[in-house]
Structure 1
Amino acid sequence: MKNLKVALIHDYLTQYGGAEKTLEAIIEIFPDADIFTSFYESKNMSDQINSKNIISSKKMGKFISIHPILSKYLTFLIPLIFENYDLGDYDLIISDSSSYAKGVITNPNQMHICYIHTPPRFLYKYSVENTKRNKWYYRWIVRYIDNLLRLWDFQAAQRPDFLVSNSFEIQKRIEKFYKRTSTVIHPPVDYIETKDFYPEKNYYLIAGRLVAYKNFDIVIKTFNELESLKLLVIGNGPLENDLKKMAGKNIKFLGKVNEKEKHLIMENCLGLINPVKDEDFGIVPVEVLLHGKPVLAHRSAGHLETIVEGVNGEFFDILEINNLKGKIIEFDKFINNNKYDANRIKSTAQKFTKEEFKRNFSKFVFDKLDKKNN
């Protein structure tokens, strides 16, 4: 397989997050692969990604981005970008997708493996970033387009030869929505070791894009009633100004921070509060666990695969201020009474490291190639 020619297919390269970290890990397995995507903004990407040969659809991208408002209503055309890529020169196609990348068209002599972060959340009624989809004045056209996209999405999910899911939660969604089996390989989680001290002391943490489905507003309103406890907020997003306006003096917004600073803040926090409901997997909680810090998370979906109640964190069940307030008070008491052992917490997260992902994913891919060629 020395001359194996590989294409990596990624939904879009416009913002850097967990999906892009997964792409980076796959790049480390296949360093000579070309990358195909819909949109690409180099200023938002890592040096590792920018150093690769990246093919994006400039003409279609320019058309879809023709107007800042109109562009939001033309994203349903993105499947055409992936269907029109000519991948005939490649032996192995690996897509990683939460929307459209799995829809590339391959021939019978090629192998296509798709790593699915989740079926598109917006198509299957999971909470999403864009709450405007539910506004009365264009709800009807959104529903019509979504119905068409669900038909396309089901057909596109039949195209890869093999599906890999990033959690058991996503495995269940794939079986329900696509009627296909998949193999679970958890995504790579980075860990940057640091023993430095952060200037802030005795604080709790929330981290991620400041968007509606993260439910950070509930955490902030709860900490407004817990003035003796300090909360730091990592991330930016469309709700940043609204969240800042509602926040009390015990809450500090740090904005977007680099990876090194993020891990420094995680290393020195008391614990993480993660109120996301129906999390696909949840990389941020695992990053915090790798620093030996406990997590208080909503009892649902991906959290059930990473949080062990009483060992590396706790759950709450109701996204409501009074319920969360009681849980945070209890969580704080557990931490002050040294309930959690840092080394034990770290050990629960070791199976989610980047090295584990690379080992498991490369074994899966090369096993499938061996069976195809023998």
Structure 2
Amino acid sequence: MERRNRRGHHTCTLPFLLLTFYPIYCQASWMWLGLASGSGEARLACSDLPFTRAQKEMCRKRPFLLPSIQAGARLGLTECQTQFKHERWNCTTSTDTSVFGNELTSGTKEAAFIHAVMAAGLVHSVTRACSQDSLAECGCDRSLQGQGSPGGGWQWGGCSDHTHYANWFSRQFLDGAAGNASWPQGASHAHALLAVNQHNREAGRQAVDGTMLTDCRCHGVSGSCAVKTCWRSMAPFERVGAVLKERFETSVEVLQRVASHQKVRRKDKVRRRVPVGRDQLVYFHKSPNYCLEDRRRGVPGTRGRHCSRTSRGPDGCNLLCCGRGYNTHVVRHVQRCDCKFVWCCYVRCSRCESMNDIHTCK
């Protein structure tokens, strides 16, 4: 249960013992920073932000990381909505500090993607700040400089992106408080949720590391490329998002009962002994169809969504509208066209009109 405080933020009103043992159930989320407009919100004191107690302490000790935390939240939210813009669930967010409502604790494939892409966004933004020498605690990875294959015409140099510090910070900031929690007997569901969320966040970090690129620059007389200097750099975050979307499509269903000393295990009995890879996304609850509005879960449904009458993909009217049919509206569009420069000195344009069919789900 939540209530709003005088600042308009959501605060938990659950009993103290439940908050102690189940901190993941009542969340005002750091992800809210991704929705905050401008830099004004980032100037708030750490104690005013929707962080857990451990996150507020980290923020107090490292306030210089706050812009990177906000940039990472925006990166993750934007990529989530880009990857799912044509799906029934289109990475729906709310304006309150929970951001995703109950979706974060649903244990579904969608929750797995959220945790993964947000952790990846945080790693990406902190690493970028390190490479730009914006942070005193980290910098470029220069450990390989001067090494390579001189006979082969290349050597390591430049400023390689170094994700080591960003991965450490991401684990401490996102996993630290929950990972150190004590769990009472009978807390199997909460512990399973903790385990899969931590696993999925680690999968997000692995996606950043796994998509690293090698860039090179040529040196030599008249661009002869006698020697190449090479360095490692992060892939554009769109590539990380695409990899995580692929992992979403092949995510693994795992057991909901997880002992404190165990890692997540496959639900499929035939393959249960096959370990789940660190880069795989996992879930233990089947996803709803997201067709109809469910205010309790924060699901808006697909009514009123734009669809494509001719597409056979997820944005097609048949799939997106869940078989309910669709409405067609004719929209008149007027724009300038056939513009020509007239000497001297103005541009003369014609006025073009077009009629377009817009389809929306019933």
Q: TM-score, normalised by structure 2?
A: 0.24
Name the structure where helix makes up a greater proportion of residues: 1
Ranked by relative contact order (alpha carbons within 8 Å, sequence separation 6 or more), the top structure is 2
